[in-house]
Amino acid sequence: MPRVLVVDDETGVRESLRMLLKSDCDVVTADSADAGLRALAEMPPDLVLLDLVMPGRSGLEFLAELGERGDAPPVIVLTATKTVATAVEAMKLGAADYVTKPFEVEALRIKIRHLLEHRALAREVVRLTDELEGRDRLGDLHGRTEAMREVFRTIERVARAPATVLIRGESGTGKELVARAVHDLSPRASGPFVAVNCAAIPDTLMESELFGHERGAFTDARDRRIGKFEAAGSGTLFLDEIGELPSSAQAKLLRALQERVIERVGGENPIEVDVRILAATNRDLEAAVREGRFREDLYYRVNVVPIDLPPLRERRADVPLLAERHLTRCREEMGAGPARFTRQALNALLRHDWPGNVRELENAVQRAVALCDGDVVDVGDLPEAIASADRTEVLHADVRTGRVDYEAAVSRFEQQLLREALDRCEWNQTRTAEALGLTRRMLKIKMDKLGLTKPD
Ligand SMILES: Nc1ncnc2c1ncn2[C@@H]1O[C@H](COP(=O)(O)OP(=O)(O)OP(=O)(O)O)[C@@H](O)[C@H]1O
Ligand SMILES: [Mg+2]
């Protein structure tokens, strides 16, 4: 169901709209512009119904912020008859339509339906075009699953706008590549792209790293130095692992984002900065907020548009494409090497869970290329953890289809298990027994029974 966000300070209006729409839409309500912006960050709606006159930030201010996002949902403005002039103002700021209060239920319903249909159609057209064109990359990002194509489309939409983007995803899913793609597709592409890894800089140096320092600001500050904010001027600043930012730096970052000014450590004068912020995290930032480790106000400032990168195991169909692309790259770099994978090798790659995501896949391919001396990469060239998952799977299938009987399958499995453990421990029986939780005597008996001897 489409999601509709209702922003109105009057409970009566919110509730009557909820009743009116709940059979066709998921309705989320907010009682102020600020609450509305937070709701937007948590889950982007397909349509917004917006009151213009509210205490605190007005509907017009809400609209102006929304317009910066690049991926803004259409907005229908709710206005009292007397303030039609304001409604016109709102349309100039990008509102799609307006209705006057008290509104006519049927007319409102039709407007909502039209806007939702239009938005759904527009997206469908883009999606179908991607599919028809067989789109499988954006910048250095590769992928042809619908999940990745959706990421590509979001990147393209948000790149044009100045909004802050929060890139979320497990380690190795391509967060840094996404940040670069956003920069490269943005109007700031000719400006610098400056990345800061917030997890790699000691707390004590973080502020000076971000904001710079004046000469003599602290013991080691022999010279004045500009920080990353200034270095990224007119370009993009990428704050990687933003969840690791120490709390004093969080406060200063919030101020920089709100007021667009910074102060060098030990400096007296505020300096205006013009940077676009992209941030990334592989942690649950919401949890960090709940636990008090990350400021809530900063979280909402940073998470204006979220981009969620799916882990590789949730888009396995991209594995062959990524593996082959990396194989080609390794081959080009080395000037020789295998040109393709055997079917078994690809199967093993497809079945693996990839806890380290694309980075792990690239490492596995690289290793295979180094080990393989033929023209094709086979299962045996892959890291053990990946290859063995495949062998166990084959064994399962053999038992299911009756090709191997139960006893034989169990001893083959035992054989695999023991051989892998022995390989890992360089055939040292004492260490192998320990690793498997067996006595050395038991290991020896099993090795004899299964005919396992050290290969030479
Ligand atoms: N969709 C993709 N297409 C091609 N290469 C990718 C893709 N996603 C990731 N990679 C590659 O995987 C590696 C890891 O990507 P990246 O450094 O962007 O991940 P990350 O999410 O920032 O990881 P971390 O959280 O560990 O910093 C890089 O070598 C990158 O080129
Ligand atoms: Mg990274």
For residue range 19-67, list pLDDT tens digits in order: 999 998 999 999 999 999 989 888 889 999 999 989 999 999 999 999 8
Residues 6+ apart with CB under 8 A from 184: 139, 159, 193
Q: Give percent of the chain with pLDDT exceeding 90.
A: 68
* CB contact burial 243-276 (16+ within 10 A = b; e otherwise): bbbeeebbebbbebbeeeebbbbebeeebebebb
pLDDT at position 421 = 86
> Ligand 1 test: best mutation among 142, 151, 177, most atoms within 8 Å of CB?
177
158-310 and 3-128 share a CATH fold: yes
CATH number of 314-450: 1.10.8.60
Q: How many CA atoms lie within 13 A of 293 on its CB side?
A: 11
Q: What residue's CA is closest to ligand 1, atom 30?
A: 174
Q: Which ligand is nearest to the CA of 152?
A: 1
Domain boundaries, the chain: 3-128, 158-310, 314-450
Task: Identify which of 358, 363, 365, 366 to mutate to test ligand 1's pocket (most ligand atoms within 8 A of the CB).
Answer: 358
Specify the ligand 1 atom closest to the Cα of 176: 18
Q: Is the pLDDT of residue 264 over 80?
A: yes
Give residue 401's pLDDT: 76
- CA dist 242 and 6 (Å) reads 31
- Torsion over CA of 302, 303, 305 and 306, rounded to 10 degrees? 130
Where does ligand 1 bind, in terms of residues with CB under 6 Å?
140-143, 169, 171-177, 282, 322, 358-359, 362
Q: 371 pLDDT band (50/70/90 cuts)?
A: confident
Ligand with the closest atom to the CA of 309: 1
Pocket test for ligand 1, best of 154, 165, 176, 361 (most atoms within 8 A of CB): 176
Dist. CA 367 → ligand 2 center (Å): 21
Model confidence at 210: pLDDT above 90: yes
The ligand whose atoms approach the alpha carbon of 167 most closely is: 1
How many other C-beta atoms can be found within 10 angstroms of the C-beta atom of residue 223? 8
Query: Considering the entire predicted model, what is its pTM?
Result: 0.81
Q: What is the pLDDT of residues 113-154, one digit of tens each?
A: 999 999 999 889 999 998 888 899 999 999 999 999 999 999
Asked if the model's pLDDT at residue 413 lies above 90, the reply is no
- Distance between CA 356 and CA 340 in Å, rounded? 23
Residue 56 zone, left/alpha/beta (φ > 0; ψ -120 to 50; rest): left
* pLDDT range class, residue 390, cuts 50, 70, 90: low
User: Which homologous superfamily does the CATH classification assign to the domain defined by 158-310?
Assistant: P-loop containing nucleotide triphosphate hydrolases (3.40.50.300)
Question: In ligand 1, which atom is closest to the CA atom of 142?
Answer: 3
Residue carrying structure tokens 């339906």: 113
Residues 178-204: what's their mean pLDDT? 96
Q: How far apart are CA 129 and CA 109, in angstroms?
A: 30
Q: Taking a C-beta distance cutoff of 8 angstroms, is the pair 165, 70 a contact?
A: no
* d(CA 358, ligand 1 centre) in Å: 6
For residue 100, list its beta bridge partners.
Answer: 79
CATH superfamily of this structure's domain 3-128:
Response regulator (3.40.50.2300)
- Read off the pLDDT of residues 426-451 as tens digits, 9 standing for 90 and up: 899 999 999 899 999 999 999 998 88
Most confident of 85-94, 168-177, 198-207: 168-177
CB under 5 Å of ion ligand 2: residues: 175-176
